[in-house]
């Protein structure tokens, strides 16, 4: 038995003591952390949300504390990347106190990690969270008795109550002020079976069931939802609903935002004129960089600001692991991991976010399959263009100026096509380049929980939306400059842009597209939102990106430039299946660490998309359509 | 009566006897509570019967049948 000397907060003059939070995934650890710090930090109702340590400060009764939220982990024997982060941190001795967060409804399981931490760290405190849920299920937990048995302070909390979080900090304060050091055995061998035997006995001692409470059969809902003919329509409806709300809401906000931004831009232009700034400065800066950024913000922000919160709501309610569970067999057939369903869902929001999310997949082979195929589902950035072109397709086919539902249905069809492509590509990879047997994995299915709507809105807006938008703007600004240069530099009579279009024309025609469209996709690589604006700009022979306008105007321009319904179909196929945007590619490079794999991630969907376009064009020619 | 977890009928309760999997997965299953003596019950399955969800120490764990085969259980009478 060894004694470990630890610097307490008061020893470190002027430095806030560090309190780290550990616990299993899904015990409400991050929610507690957020309640205390108010820091932007996202929590989700599934494993592997906190992929790196989140830090924040909290002031409690006049003292400042540095709080560290460690990734959810099941034990100190690290397996997955996020668990390794948690263990490395705990091993480095940087924490002055450790808060072990447990789930009152599954105390036995969630205390296993607690037991390991208690043995290793002298200043540990157990927080039994979700006491309200336990009470609902008729569980009465004797916290004093539990504290006596474990030999450390125990505080009961309900994650949603701020007062409980403050009581927890009182406990931490008392712990740090305490003089005596509890003896620890950091090097004792780990015996999980023996630990569970001990925990079973402790829990029997401390937990009583309230016989007057009727315990609901919580699995009945899941049993019902997992029926084949219940789950499919529900998943389909959810998909349709999420897209419809996103599109409908985004349209309204988008036009207001673009009016505002372009009005501001116009004001800036007039101001520049009044100050008689030279053309070589205002051209690239205002017409190039700022115009592109304004476009991106007005087109990209609204759908993201709606989609991400919706996605987070589904996540917090516990729906995503169930979708993963439901679709697992399909992924097993592809020799991939069922958790890929979760990363695909994230990909609908942003492919770069989806690629980062692949960290939750433990097997390297399966993680690569998920990363390489992630960009095959269209992200938010591609939806506006898809919807516009789908509406134009309907117009070309002679449909009346259709309302919201027909395009939404068509979009759902495109999404199904994208999912089909993802499965096909995963299958192909799993049986050729990334051959191997599906690895074993366990997916924990959390109980359904009522999401905290207010918090979800704020947090996902700040965390995901602004983060993704910030990155997009960073990439778009230099791209705006490039586009402006291409459109304004001339070789002979024609601009470089027009010359490039001419060069690409014969190649593009093979795939049912035209040179301008292909060039727009190339130039739109930094952010797919600007593909259509660039195309519009090339067709209109304009030197600057034009302001967003109605679908009708756009349709006329496209038809005047030789578009038919076939061009629209090829555009949609290629918009779904082409190289990932620059941000995603950069993320893939960072996540895989290999340039070759990044190249493959770009080549795979492009080849797939071109092949399908070629096939479609050939079939059309064959039948003389 | 001893069975593999994968063939435990839906709704029936049993207790874990042993786990024979790759060392990594064995540790993981132990950590998640599937130690010898632990009660388990299969509570629902995806359409087609694979994967299946098990109630283990108050939590719900989903396992593919290929992995559940490695867990030997004794059915309670």
Tens of pLDDT, residues A220-243: 888 898 888 898 899 888 888 887
State whether A322 and A291 are in the same domain.
yes
Chain B residues near residue A226 by CB distance under 8 angstroms: 44-47
Position A481 scores a pLDDT of 85
Identify the closest residue of chain B to A193 by CA–CA distance. B35
Q: How far is CA A569 from the centre of its chain?
A: 29
Distance CA A383, CA A601 (A): 21
Residue A530 C-alpha, separation from nearest chain B C-alpha, in angstroms: 41
Residue B1 C-alpha, separation from nearest chain A C-alpha, in angstroms: 22
Q: How far is CA A7 from the centre of its chain?
A: 38
Determine phi and psi for A93, rounding to 5 degrees. 70, 25
Residues A249-274, buried b or exposed e (16+ Cβ, 10 A)?
bbeeebeebbeebbeebeeebeebee
Position A113 scores a pLDDT of 93
Q: Does A7 fall in a domain? A: no
CATH number, position A78: 3.40.50.300
Contact yes or no for B62 and A227 at CB 8 A: no
Contact yes or no for A109 and B57 at CB 8 A: yes
Q: Does A581 fall in a domain? A: yes
State whether A193 and A244 are in the same domain.
no
Looking at chain A, the number of H-run helices and the number of E-run strands are 26, 11
Going by pLDDT thresholds of 50, 70 and 90, the confidence category of residue A316 is: confident
**Is A227 within 8 Å of chain B by CB?**
yes
Cβ pairs bridging A and B (under 8 Å): 110
The mean pLDDT value for B37-53 works out to 92
What is the side-by-side strand order in the sheet with A18-23?
Answer: A54-60, A63-69, A18-23, A97-103, A124-129, A154-156
Output A542-545 pairs: Cβ under 8 A, ≥24 positions apart: A542/A487, A543/A287, A543/A484, A543/A487, A543/A488, A543/A495, A544/A287, A544/A288, A544/A291, A544/A484, A544/A487, A545/A287, A545/A291, A545/A292, A545/A295, A545/A480, A545/A483
Contact yes or no for B53 and A325 at CB 8 A: yes
State whether A158 and A28 are in the same domain.
yes
How many other C-beta atoms can be found within 10 angstroms of the C-beta atom of residue A85?
A: 18
Tell me the residue range of the domain where A93 lies: 18-209
**pLDDT higher than threshold 70 for residue A45:** no
Position A53 scores a pLDDT of 65
Contact yes or no for B62 and A112 at CB 8 A: no
Position A72 scores a pLDDT of 82
Chain A residues near residue B43 by CB distance under 8 angstroms: 219, 222-223
**Which phi-psi region, left, alpha or beta, contains residue A541 (left: φ > 0; alpha: ψ -120 to 50)?**
left
What's the total number of domains in chain A? Answer: 2
**pLDDT higher than threshold 90 for residue A121:** no
Residue B20 C-alpha, separation from nearest chain A C-alpha, in angstroms: 12
Q: Does A9 fall in a domain? A: no
Q: Does A218 fall in a domain? A: no
**pLDDT higher than threshold 50 for residue A82:** yes
State whether A477 and A600 are in the same domain.
yes
Interface of A with B in 513-542 (CB under 8 A): none
Chain B residues near residue A447 by CB distance under 8 angstroms: 60
Share of chain A above pLDDT 70, in %: 90
In a mutational test of the A interface, the residue from B15, B25, B28, B31 whose CB has the highest number of chain A CBs within 10 Å is: B31
Going by pLDDT thresholds of 50, 70 and 90, the confidence category of residue A373 is: very high
- What's the mean pLDDT when you consider all of chain A? 84
- Of A164-168, A244-248, A435-439, where does mean pLDDT reach its minimum? A244-248
Give the range with max mean pLDDT: A326-330, A570-574, B48-52. A570-574
State whether A255 and A154 are in the same domain.
no
Spell out the residues 6+ positions from residue A471 whose beta carbon is closer than 8 angstroms to its own: A352, A583
The mean pLDDT value for A542-558 works out to 76
Going by pLDDT thresholds of 50, 70 and 90, the confidence category of residue A11 is: very low
State whether A191 and A115 are in the same domain.
yes
Q: Does A13 fall in a domain? A: no
State whether A122 and A255 are in the same domain.
no
Position B1 scores a pLDDT of 81
Q: Which two tokens stand for residue A155?
A: 């505080």
What are the structural domain ranges in chain B?
2-75
Q: What is the pLDDT of residues A378-408, one digit of tens each?
A: 987 788 788 888 888 888 887 765 556 777 7
Strand partners, A443: B62
Q: Does A142 fall in a domain? A: yes
Position A459 scores a pLDDT of 66
Position A463 scores a pLDDT of 65
Contact yes or no for A79 and B57 at CB 8 A: no
**pLDDT higher than threshold 80 for residue A77:** no
Share of chain A above pLDDT 90, in %: 31
Fold of B2-75: SH3 type barrels. (2.30.30)
Q: What is the pLDDT of residues B25-43, one digit of tens each?
A: 888 899 999 999 999 999 9
User: Can you give the C-alpha Rg of chain A in angstroms?
Assistant: 28
Q: What is the pLDDT of residues A376-385, one digit of tens each?
A: 999 877 887 8
The mean pLDDT value for A428-439 works out to 88
Contact yes or no for A112 and B67 at CB 8 A: no
**pLDDT higher than threshold 50 for residue A9:** no
**pLDDT higher than threshold 80 for residue A181:** no
Position A13 scores a pLDDT of 46
State whether A236 and A199 are in the same domain.
no
State whether A182 and A272 are in the same domain.
no
Interface of B with A in 17-76 (CB under 8 A): 21-22, 24-25, 27-33, 35-38, 43-48, 50-51, 53, 55-64, 66-67
Domain boundary among A209, A240, A265: A209
Domain boundary among A175, A209, A243: A209
Q: What is the pLDDT of residues A597-622, one digit of tens each?
A: 999 999 999 999 999 999 999 999 99
Position A191 scores a pLDDT of 87
Query: Of the candidates A74, A109, A193, which has its C-beta nearest B36's C-beta?
Result: A193
Spell out the residues 6+ positions from residue A223 whose beta carbon is closer than 8 angstroms to its own: B43, B44
The mean pLDDT value for A569-592 works out to 92
State whether A278 and A387 are in the same domain.
yes
State whether A315 and A437 are in the same domain.
yes
């Amino acid at each position: 038995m060894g004694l470990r000397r630890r610097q307490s907060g008061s020893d470190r003059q002027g430095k806030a003591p560090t309190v780290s939070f550990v616990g299993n995934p899904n015990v409400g650890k991050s929610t507690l952390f957020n309640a205390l710090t108010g820091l932007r930090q996202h929590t989700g109702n599934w494993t592997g949300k906190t992929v790196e340590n989140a830090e924040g400060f909290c002031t409690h009764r006049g003292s400042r504390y540095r709080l560290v939220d460690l990734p959810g982990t099941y034990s100190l024997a690290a397996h997955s990347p996020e668990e390794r982060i948690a263990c490395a941190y705990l091993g480095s001795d940087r924490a002055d106190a450790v808060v072990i967060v447990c789930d009152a409804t599954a105390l036995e399981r969630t205390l296993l990690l607690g037991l390991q931490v208690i043995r290793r760290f002298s200043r540990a405190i157990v927080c039994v969270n979700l006491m309200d849920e336990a009470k609902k299920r008729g569980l009465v937990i004797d916290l004093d008795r539990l504290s006596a048995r474990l030999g450390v302070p125990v505080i009961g909390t309900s994650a949603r109550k701020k007062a409980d979080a403050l009581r927890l900090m009182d406990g931490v304060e008392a712990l740090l002020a305490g003089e005596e050091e509890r003896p620890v055995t950091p090097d004792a061998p780990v015996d999980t079976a023996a630990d569970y035997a001990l925990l079973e006995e402790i829990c029997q001692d401390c937990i009583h069931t309230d016989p007057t409470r009727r315990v609901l059969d919580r699995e009945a809902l899941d049993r019902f939802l997992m029926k084949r003919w219940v789950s499919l329509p529900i998943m389909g409806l959810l998909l349709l609903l999420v897209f419809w709300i996103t599109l409908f809401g985004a349209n309204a906000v988008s036009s207001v935002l673009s009016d505002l931004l372009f009005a501001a831009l116009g004001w800036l232009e007039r101001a520049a004129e009044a100050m008689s700034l030279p053309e070589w400065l205002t051209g690239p800066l205002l017409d190039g960089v700022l115009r592109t950024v304004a476009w991106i913000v007005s087109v990209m922000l609204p759908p993201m600001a709606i989609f991400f919160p919706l996605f987070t709501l589904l996540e917090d309610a516990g729906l995503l692991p169930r979708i993963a569970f439901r679709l697992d067999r399909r992924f097993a057939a592809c020799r991939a991991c069922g958790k890929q369903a979760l990363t695909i869902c994230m990909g609908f929001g942003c492919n770069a976010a989806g690629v980062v999310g692949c960290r939750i997949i433990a097997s390297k082979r399966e993680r690569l399959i998920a990363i390489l195929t992630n960009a095959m589902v269209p992200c938010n950035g591609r939806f506006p263009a898809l919807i516009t072109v789908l509406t134009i397709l309907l117009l070309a086919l002679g449909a009346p100026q259709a309302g919201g539902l027909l395009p939404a249905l068509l979009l759902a069809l495109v999404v199904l096509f994208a999912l089909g492509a993802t499965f096909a590509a995963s299958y192909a990879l799993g049986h050729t380049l990334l051959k191997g047997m599906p690895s074993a994995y366990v997916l924990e299915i959390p109980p359904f929980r009522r999401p905290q709507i207010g918090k979800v809105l704020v947090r996902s807006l700040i965390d995901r939306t602004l983060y993704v938008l910030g990155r997009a703007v960073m990439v778009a600004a230099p791209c705006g400059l490039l586009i402006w240069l291409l459109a304004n530099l001339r070789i002979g009579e024609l601009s470089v842009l027009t010359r490039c279009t001419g060069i690409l024309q014969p190649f593009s025609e093979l795939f049912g597209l035209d040179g301008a469209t292909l060039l727009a996709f190339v130039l739109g690589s930094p952010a797919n939102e600007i593909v259509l604006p660039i195309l519009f700009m090339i067709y209109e022979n304009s030197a600057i990106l034009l302001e967003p306008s109605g679908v009708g105007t756009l349709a006329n321009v496209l038809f005047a430039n030789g578009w038919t319904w076939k061009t629209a179909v090829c555009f949609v196929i290629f918009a779904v299946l082409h190289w990932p945007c620059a941000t995603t590619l950069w993320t893939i490079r960072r996540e895989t660490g290999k340039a070759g794999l990044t190249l493959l991630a770009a080549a795979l969907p492009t080849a797939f998309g071109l092949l399908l376009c070629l096939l479609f064009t050939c079939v059309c020619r064959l039948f003389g359509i | 009566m001893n069975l593999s977890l994968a063939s435990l009928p839906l709704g029936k309760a049993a207790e874990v006897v042993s786990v024979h999997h790759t060392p990594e997965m064995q540790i993981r299953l132990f950590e998640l509570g599937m130690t010898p003596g632990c009660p388990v019950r299969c509570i629902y399955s995806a359409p087609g019967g694979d994967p299946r969800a098990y109630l283990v120490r108050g939590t719900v764990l989903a396992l593919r049948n290929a992995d559940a085969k490695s867990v030997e259980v004794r059915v309670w009478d």
